[in-house]
């Protein structure tokens, strides 16, 4: 099919490349000429495993442009622009979505299908449909559930497809989307056809649930910290109940990134507009628990270096909001690093992929390429993003670089026994100071 993708940021670039991989003829449109130039040259403007290969592999079936007019031959138009948090408010900023739809209108032909992918407040699709339908085109809402780091896989083999269509149903839109996702449909991927509001809510409520699950286990961390319990064993034990499940129960520094934090806030803001703010007031607790973990991490680091961070050398391992990403938007790791600096610590930070993105936001931090360099003469090492490189660090080898063998594991991803046996003071969020009972 001939497809356009409007907005070639994280979501759009991945979607465009994945649609080309599925055999469609795709044009990606973005107002950012640098981004378009980079994508056209087969270079991803951000780190995402497998994306560069897909961009190169696509050949003529994938083009990028800044000209809206270049999408005239496409009949399906995906809208994949960002919906960041508004400055000074919890609400989502819909400027980019509105601008994308408005500039699309003059290029739409009767029978075209516009497909919303951006995460929007419930009610947005119904409003935009009125604009789109003035051209004889139709609107569907098809939320995206991809995770950074697994974005290509999540797009090519999604665990579900959700189509929100106009009131009264839209069999043409459903048939078109089925044709686009023919590979996933053939693999029996569950597909839910629903109304606009439900489709919009599926996306934000899924992210709200995931955020709640993380904050739940982090709240248990707070209890574990005052009772001497071990939150990782607690998570393992409750996670064995398949009604609960072990996924997304990793206690630690909490969630960040461009989605979960702003989506729960945008959801609360929308509920307030709808007069049902009480329904989501628990999400403000979810947000608060999440942010408290960052403060606790700083407290623990201060404690480990003897009560005062002033002049202490701290090695920061990890800056990205999660591994396999160079994204530092609302990154708990970067936040902790800057708070340590604010207390007078001499921070040397590293990350396998996110040094450049972090440097753009926080040029005042000192960045080095490797964990060993960051750890040189350190009074404490803090692990803030659970990259594989850090999970597999050899405690004996790292001990050769540091001044003091002290590590604070902000992601509960190291083996305390191995680190303690190598002579390290090992501290972690939600775990006892003594060695935990061996897990059988």
Q: Which of residues 97-126 bind ligand UGA (CB under 6 A)?
A: 119
Distance between CA 265 and CA 209 in Å, rounded? Answer: 13
Decide if residue 321 touches ligand UGA (CB under 6 A).
yes
- Catalytic status, residue 8: no
Distance between CA 226 and CA 304 in Å, rounded? Answer: 17
The nearer residue to ligand UGA, 249 or 305, going by C-beta atoms, is 249
Phi, psi of 313 (to 5 degrees): -90, 120
The piece of 73-81, 221-229, 254-262, 336-344 that touches ligand UGA (CB under 6 A) is 254-262
Q: CB of residue 251 vs ligand UGA: minimum separation in angstroms?
A: 7
Which two tokens mark 341? 């600096």
Decide if residue 147 touches ligand UGA (CB under 6 A).
yes
For residue 354, the SS3 value is: coil
Query: If we measure between CA atoms, which residue out of 317, 307, 324, 299 comes closest to residue 401?
Result: 317
Q: CB of residue 410 vs ligand UGA: minimum separation in angstroms?
A: 10
Q: CB of residue 421 vs ligand UGA: minimum separation in angstroms?
A: 27
Residue pair 203/236 in contact by the 8 Å Cβ criterion: no
Q: CB of residue 364 vs ligand UGA: minimum separation in angstroms?
A: 23
The nearer residue to ligand UGA, 45 or 313, going by C-beta atoms, is 45
Distance between CA 279 and CA 273 in Å, rounded? Answer: 12
Decide if residue 7 touches ligand UGA (CB under 6 A).
no
User: 95-105 vs 124-133: helix axis angle to the nearest 10?
Assistant: 20
The nearer residue to ligand UGA, 119 or 124, going by C-beta atoms, is 119
Q: Residue from 30, 112, 144, 335 that binds ligand UGA (CB under 6 A)? A: 144
Q: CB of residue 422 vs ligand UGA: minimum separation in angstroms?
A: 26
- Cα 251 to chain centroid distance, Å, stands at 17
The piece of 25-33, 109-117, 186-194, 257-265 that touches ligand UGA (CB under 6 A) is 257-265
Distance between CA 422 and CA 398 in Å, rounded? Answer: 10
Decide if residue 146 touches ligand UGA (CB under 6 A).
yes
Q: What angle do CA 348, 254, 342 make, to 5 degrees?
A: 35
Q: CB of residue 432 vs ligand UGA: minimum separation in angstroms?
A: 20
The nearer residue to ligand UGA, 65 or 83, going by C-beta atoms, is 83
Decide if residue 145 touches ligand UGA (CB under 6 A).
yes
The nearer residue to ligand UGA, 120 or 365, going by C-beta atoms, is 120
Q: CB of residue 81 vs ligand UGA: minimum separation in angstroms?
A: 13
The nearer residue to ligand UGA, 170 or 386, going by C-beta atoms, is 386
Decide if residue 252 touches ligand UGA (CB under 6 A).
yes
Residue pair 368/317 in contact by the 8 Å Cβ criterion: no
Burial of 310 (0-12, 13-18, 19+ CB in 10 A): exposed
Decide if residue 46 touches ligand UGA (CB under 6 A).
no
How many CB atoms neighbour CB 406 within 10 A? 21
Decide if residue 82 touches ligand UGA (CB under 6 A).
no
Q: Residue from 260, 271, 336, 381 that binds ligand UGA (CB under 6 A)? A: 260
Among 11, 91, 214, 259, the one annotated catalytic: 259
Query: If we measure between CA atoms, which residue out of 356, 321, 363 comes closest to residue 341?
Result: 363
Distance between CA 101 and CA 417 in Å, rounded? Answer: 56
Give 208's contacts (C-beta < 8 A, 6+ positions apart). 263, 264, 267, 280, 283, 286
Q: Residue from 148, 225, 230, 326 that binds ligand UGA (CB under 6 A)? A: 148
The piece of 25-33, 91-99, 207-215, 337-345 that touches ligand UGA (CB under 6 A) is 207-215
For residue 395, the SS3 value is: helix
Decide if residue 13 touches ligand UGA (CB under 6 A).
no
CA dihedral defined by 226, 227, 229, 235, rounded to 10 degrees?
Answer: -70
Q: Looking at the annotation, which residues are catalytic?
A: 259
Contact set with ligand UGA (CB under 6 A)? 119, 144-148, 207, 210, 214, 248-250, 252, 254-257, 259-260, 321-322
């Amino acid at each position: 099919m001939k497809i356009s993708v409007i907005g070639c940021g994280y979501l759009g670039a991945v979607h465009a490349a994945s649609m080309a991989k599925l055999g469609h003829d795709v044009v990606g449109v973005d107002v950012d000429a640098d981004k378009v130039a980079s994508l056209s040259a087969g270079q991803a403007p951000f780190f995402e495993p497998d994306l560069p290969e897909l961009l190169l592999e696509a050949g003529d079936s994938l083009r990028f442009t800044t000209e809206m007019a270049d999408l005239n031959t496409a009949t399906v138009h995906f809208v994949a622009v960002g919906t960041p948090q508004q400055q000074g408010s919890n609400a989502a900023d819909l400027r980019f979505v509105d601008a994308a739809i408005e500039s699309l209108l003059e290029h739409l032909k009767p029978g075209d299908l516009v497909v919303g992918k951006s995460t929007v407040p419930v009610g947005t699709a119904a409003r935009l449909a009125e604009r789109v339908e003035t051209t004889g085109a139709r609107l569907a809402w098809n939320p995206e559930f991809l995770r950074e780091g697994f974005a290509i896989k999540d797009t090519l083999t999604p665990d579900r497809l959700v189509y929100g269509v106009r009131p009264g149903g839209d069999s043409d839109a459903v048939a078109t989307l089925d044709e686009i996702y023919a590979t996933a449909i053939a693999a029996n991927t569950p597909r839910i056809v629903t109304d606009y509001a439900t489709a919009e809510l599926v996306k934000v409520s899924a992210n709200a649930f995931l955020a709640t699950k993380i904050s739940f286990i982090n709240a248990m961390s707070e209890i574990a910290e005052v009772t001497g319990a071990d939150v990782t064993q607690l998570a393992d034990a409750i996670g064995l109940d398949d009604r609960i499940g072990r996924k997304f129960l990793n206690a630690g520094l909490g969630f960040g990134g461009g989605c979960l934090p702003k989506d729960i806030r945008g959801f609360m803001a929308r509920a307030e507009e709808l007069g049902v703010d009480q329904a989501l007031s628990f999400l403000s607790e979810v947000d608060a628990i999440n942010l408290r973990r960052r403060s606790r991490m700083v407290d623990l680091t201060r404690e480990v270096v003897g009560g005062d961070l002033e002049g202490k050398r701290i090695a920061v391992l990890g800056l990205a909001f999660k591994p396999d990403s160079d994204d530092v938007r609302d990154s708990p790791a970067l936040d902790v690093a800057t708070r340590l600096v604010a207390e007078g610590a001499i921070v040397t930070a590293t990350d396998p992929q996110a040094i450049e993105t972090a440097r753009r936001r926080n040029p005042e931090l000192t960045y080095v390429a490797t964990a060993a360099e960051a750890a040189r003469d350190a009074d404490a090492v803090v692990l803030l993003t659970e990259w594989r490189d850090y999970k597999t660090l050899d405690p004996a080898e790292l001990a050769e670089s540091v001044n003091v063998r002290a590590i604070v594991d902000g992601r509960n991803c190291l083996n305390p026994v191995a680190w303690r046996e190598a002579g390290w003071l090992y501290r972690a969020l939600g775990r006892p100071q003594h060695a935990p009972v061996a897990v059988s």
